[in-house]
Each structure stands twice: as C-alpha cells, then as structure tokens.
Amino acid sequence: MSKGQQRKYFGTDGIRGLVGETPITAEFVLKLGWAAGRVLTKGGRGKVLIGKDTRISGYMLESALQAGLSSAGVDIRLLGPMPTPAIAYLTRTLHAQAGIVISASHNPYQDNGIKFFSARGEKLPDEVELAIEAELDEPMHTVDSSLLGKAERVGDAAGRYIEFCKSTIPGNVELRGMKLVVDCAHGATYHVAPHVFEELGAEVIRLGVQPNGLNINKGCGSTHPEAMQAAVLEHKADLGVALDGDGDRLIMVDHKGELVDGDELLFIIAQSRREAGNLKGAVIGTVMSNLGLEHALCALGVDFQRAAVGDRYVMDLLRKEGGTLGGESSGHIICLDCTTTGDGIVSALQVLAALVQSGRTLHELKSRMAKYPQCLVNVRTEKKFDFAASSHVQDALRAVEAQLASKGRVLLRASGTEPLIRVMVEGVDLQQVETLANYLAAAVRQAYEAAN
C-alpha cells in the first residue's frame, strides 16, 4: 500500500454514515468485525473490547461486530454504553489488542459509526486502516468451530472509568461547595459523568440522563447548550458542563449563563499548567481556533500552533512538537499528560481544578482571553463538490480576503464527518464578519447548485 493510497471507508473519525445505508449496515459491519479482528490481532486469538453510545442502532451493530470478530477467532469483551475515551482507557488497562467504539459522536440518532483504538488506546494509524480495508476485499471465512471467539460482559467498566477520571486531578482538589449543572446529551456519559463530579463533592443538577435510543444529542449536550444555560441561571449554579453523545467533547457555561467554548477551555487549562510549571511543548489548536486564543497564549509566552481540523491531526502535531495539550473550538480537548484521546469529563476536571487552585470563577478565568468575532456558516452538499475548482467561489473568496485585509482571516473547508462545506470568517467587527461569511456561503451554495 502506497503512502498516498486513498481510504475507501475510513474518514477522519472512523467509519460513519446513515444507519441502513452502506457502510452502516449489519452486513457490512459483520464483515468489518471479521476483517478488523484478523488485522488487529494479526491472525492470533486476541481480545477486543466493544463499547457504544446510546443510539438504538447500537444493538444491531454491536451484534454484527461481535459475530464478525468471533468468526475470526477473536474473543470479545462487551462494555455496553460507555464514553469513547473510556473505551480507549479500558483497552489499555484490560490489555486488549484493540477497542471498538460504536458511535456517531455529536450527530443525531439516525447516524452511527465505528471507530477503533489500538492496544495503546490511540486512534489507528493510516496503514492499519488501509490494511483493514484491504482485508474487506477478501472473501470472508470462519475459523474452525473449536477456535471461535467467546464473548463476555465487563461488569465493572463504569466504576473503573469513574476512578480513572477522578485520578487525573490532584488528590487535594475537592469540589465540595460547588453546584454544577451536568448535561450528558442522553448519551454514553449518562451513568458516569454525574457520579464523577458528585464523588468529588459537588452538588449536581442532572440533564440529558434519560436515553431512549432516539434522543441522543436532541436539543441537549454540547451542540445544544441552551437548556444547560437556562438551568445554570435557574438553579444559581457555579457553572455548567455539557458533553456530547459519546463524551469526547465539552462545552461549559459560567455562572452568568455565558458559553465557554473549546478555545477558552483550552486557554484556561494551558494557563493553569503554565502557572504550575508543567506545560510541555507547544499548545496545538486547529485552523478553526480563534485568533484570540493564539494572542492570549502568546502573551503568556506559550507557543501555539495550528493543525488541520480533526483530533487525529491535533494528536499528530502534539507528538511532533512534544506537547501535551491541544484541542478544537468544538470542545474536543486532548490532555496527553492525563490520557490518550479527547475526553470531555477529564477536560472538565482540569478546568475545575484550575478554578479551585486559583480561587477564581470560570467567568474570571475565561475573561483573560479576548475572542475575535467569528462566524461559521455550513453549506449542505449531498453530492461531492470541489469548491476549490469553482471560479465563482474563488472570486468571492478573494473579494472577502481583500475586505478583511490584515485584520482577519477566512477558512473554507469540507467537513470530514458530515456532508457540509464550512465557511468561517474571523475579524475585528462582528457585523462585517457575519456579512462576509453569509456572502461567501451564498457563493458556495450557488456554485454547488449550478454544478448539480
């Protein structure tokens, strides 16, 4: 396989799509389990963990994966509904050859996906994903009956992960006296996150903890924090914590009901580590990170670098630069000094520890970073569209860049997880930013409609 070989099924965050349409069908996932089992265990017996979020389709896909892995002679450990980062952690501590997550993260219940962790609890490298895709092209065959894989359920998975989360902050940090609103998005953290904060002493008002298979991320969680904002004000809470459906993203709300996004959370954690003298290497953001984050970190003497959008690219640059802290505006924050992947609960704990240790409120700490006005407009594209080849789009892009001059920036990119083209404009004047973003988005929409 050449380095530049294109992946057929794997995207920036595993394999994802609409349930019932290829590749998110029982038939495909059955063979995916078989192919992954053969590659990840190198044809040996091996042990693979399977966890999922709370989507109704998780039952179907879990059974299909289990059957495929068993047919390849691989033993299975079933975790049930568990946050994505918990599966990464348990893969390491249970010494499994791999962990598999059934989730479409912040997407609605109609979508689902499959993503993998290596034995080290890290995303698979490209060459392993390519090897799995190559195996998918081979005819499927079942090992001898005496060699079929066995499945067992891990009964204490949630308890193990709760203890791990608490261990990521100093033992003398307590949340006693704090009132928190915690929104679990009716997702995989519903039976985990509230316990973590309560066991550390906080009073917790719970939201989004009644999953029914269809309500994951629906009007709640990190992508819809309005209910959490209202609850913080209603209960006069110190702050709110909103997670997404699989628990790897985090958005917070301060006591005034104001949102604190991933850029601001990343700044707070970086500032705390800098003051404690344990911040290593550069802090890594993405091309979507607010310019205010870059300027605030520079004022602290902290090197800031941008990766492409996607946690795998943030992780790659962190390793290259020897850093331990990175993240995205969406709230996907990676603390490599604590864990191996983005973890919403762990990230929230790092912010709470910074509050306790500084004696300041979340509002005070986030106010040390001044955000530039930023407008993001999504243009839906059900079919493939090469906006870079459109003269109409490129003319509009040059016009916007000319108006911003040196006082802002523009980013135009295709989403790696959804059929969208994202138009982002950032500058010093909000009205100008919104006008230019809508103008450019309209140009993209016109060009797409003309091409299709």
Catalytically active residues are 105
Check residue 280 and report its DSSP letter.
-
Which position has the token pair 């601001």?
264
Which tokens sit at 94? 């249970």
Backbone torsions φ then ψ of 64, nearest 5 degrees: -65, -45
The closest alpha carbon to 109, from 56, 63, 59, belongs to 56
User: Could you tell me which residues come within 8 angstroms of residue 113 by beta carbon, excluding any fewer than 6 positions away?
Assistant: 13, 14, 15, 16, 17, 24, 102, 103, 104, 105, 107
Which position has the token pair 């991933």?
262
Rounded Cα gap, residues 99 and 116, in angstroms: 6
Strand order in the sheet with 374-380: 374-380, 420-427, 408-414
How many Cβ atoms are within 10 Å of 127's Cβ, its own excluded?
A: 10
Task: State the Cα torsion 164-97-334-202 to the nearest 10°.
Answer: -20
SS3 assignment, position 415: coil
The closest alpha carbon to 252, from 348, 379, 144, belongs to 348
- For residues 361 and 254, the answer to whether their CB atoms sit within 8 Å is yes
Rounded Cα gap, residues 267 and 366, in angstroms: 8
- For residues 374 and 261, the answer to whether their CB atoms sit within 8 Å is no
Rounded Cα gap, residues 344 and 342, in angstroms: 7
- For residues 92 and 119, the answer to whether their CB atoms sit within 8 Å is yes
Which tokens sit at 382? 């059900």
Task: State the Cα torsion 300-301-302-303 to the nearest 10°.
Answer: 140
Check residue 349 and report its DSSP letter.
H
The closest alpha carbon to 262, from 215, 217, 300, 311, belongs to 311
Which tokens sit at 17? 């799509």
